Amino acid sequence: MCRKDINFSLWCDFVERNFLDGEFKDLINNNVVNGATSNPAIFKSAFLTSPAYQEDRARLKTDNAKSIYEKLAIEDIKRAAASMAHLYEKDNDGFISIEVDPFLCDDAKATIEEGKRLYKAIGKNNVMIKVPATKAGYEAMEVLMSDGIHVNATLIFSPDQAKNCVEAFKRATDKYESGVKLPQGVISVFVSRFDGKLDSTLKDLGMQTAKVGIYNATQIYHLIEDYNMPNIRTLFASTGVKSDALEVDYYIKELLFKNSVNTAPLDTIKAFIQSNEIEEIIPNKEYEEFFNNLEKNGVDMEKVYSELLHDGLVSFKDAFKQILDEL
């Protein structure tokens, strides 16, 4: 459940048309979620498996594949945005994110052009353009936000990535002169993929498992909070568990920090609701000793960060390619 008193938000990491027209509205009305996110992998599952898109796909079959993808995605984003417009108007989030073509991740100019084009085509104020945290992405984020577009910086694994994102957002905020409320930015820190990658190593070292993702996210959270920017928040992403040994909502409960967002899969959100545990966690700095121990035991976190970013970009590109191939 969302906690307005500590500015903690829960967003749904799932988009599918029948869901948006039904259960999603119930989750909003019951104050369970106040935002949503999408990515190529989510749209791949929706567009290629849900019967809700068959009629539109048949109608659009003469278009090229990317045009079909964008028209289907834009329609879903519009629906989600409309359902949450009242939240946005009350400064209670209400954001829905759409990601730029992941194949543009190293092309700042093309990312900027596509981000602006998608934002205009959707025509809703409560849309965030999602941009991967690459060198080109930092440039694109700054330009988009300075133009008043809300930005979701995604695929953040390292503190260095997070720092580059928040610096880009700071420059954009300083440039923004509209007088309308400041564009918002979230820095999406991926969590569970660390544990999927490193838990077997930690077990061999006799160290506690399922902690790398939590501690890394906490470290980055402190970094972002130190900037004290009211329009920028940490978003914890990839919060579905990768191990049956963990509670389904483990990564929500362990990262329930003030002034943060957690975007979680639908099953994770349902487990969290049922547990009814929504106590604020006060983040400490235990991670410092933890990462020192990792380094002493030969775990190169810089290498881990690089590999996870590479794998994340590849997975989004693969999902996007599969969508286009099928469409």
Closest CA to 215 of 306, 141, 295: 295
Length of the chain, please?
Answer: 327
Structure-token pair, residue 96 = 């829905």
Pairing of strands 8-12, 185-190: unpaired
Task: Average the pLDDT over 228-238 and give the result.
Answer: 97
Our CA angle for 219, 15, 29, nearest 5°, is 85
**What pTM did the predictor assign?**
0.96
The DSSP-derived string for 60-72 is: TTTS-HHHHHHHH
Q: How far apart are CA 95 and CA 82, in angstroms?
A: 10
Decide: 231 and 183 in contact? Cβ < 8 Å.
yes
Tens of pLDDT, residues 119-172: 999 999 999 999 999 999 999 999 999 999 999 999 999 999 999 999 999 999
- Distance CA(294)–CA(134), nearest Å, equals 26
Question: Is 109 a catalytic site residue?
Answer: no
Alpha-carbon distance of 156 to 176, in angstroms, equals: 24
Region class of 273: left (phi > 0), else alpha (psi between -120 and 50), else beta = alpha
| 35-39, 98-102, 123-127, 240-244: least confidently modelled range | 240-244
Say which residues have a Cβ less than 8 Å from residue 142's Cβ, sequence separation at least 6: 168, 169, 171, 172
Amino acid at 290: F
Of residues 44, 124, 130, 242, which has the active-site annotation? 130
pLDDT digits (tens, 9 = 90+) for 279-316: 889 998 999 999 999 999 999 999 999 999 999 999 99
Between vectors from CA 1 to CA 253 and to CA 216, what angle results, nearest 5°?
30
- The C-alpha angle 33, 11, 50, rounded to 5 degrees, equals 95
Beta bridge partners of 236: 189, 262
Q: What is the mean pLDDT of residues 185-208?
A: 95
Cα–Cα dist 180/285, whole Å? 37
pLDDT band at residue 179 under the 50/70/90 scheme: low
Give residue 175's domain range: 4-326
How far apart (Å, rounded) are the C-alpha atoms in residues 32 and 3? 9
Q: Please tell me the total count of domains within the chain.
A: 1
CA distance 96 to 84: 8
Residue of 192, 186, 161, 166 whose CA lies nearest to 254? 192
Question: What stretches of 211-316 adopt beta strand conformation (E)?
Answer: 232-237, 260-264
Q: Is the pLDDT of residue 177 over 80?
A: no
Rounded CA separation 220/194 (Å): 14
Going from the C-alpha of 269 to that of each of 1, 12, 16, 263, the distances in angstroms are 9, 8, 16, 9
The tens digit of pLDDT for each residue in 48-80 reads 999 999 999 999 988 999 999 999 999 999 999
Q: Which residue has the tokens 């599952």?
A: 45
> Domain containing 159 — which CATH number?
3.20.20.70
User: Residue 151 gets which letter from DSSP?
Assistant: E
Residues 6+ apart with CB under 8 A from 105: 111, 132, 134, 136, 137, 313
Q: Which helix (H) or strand (E) holds 84?
A: none
| Euclidean distance between CA atoms 122 and 70, whole angstroms | 10
Q: How many CB atoms lie within 10 A of CB 33?
A: 27
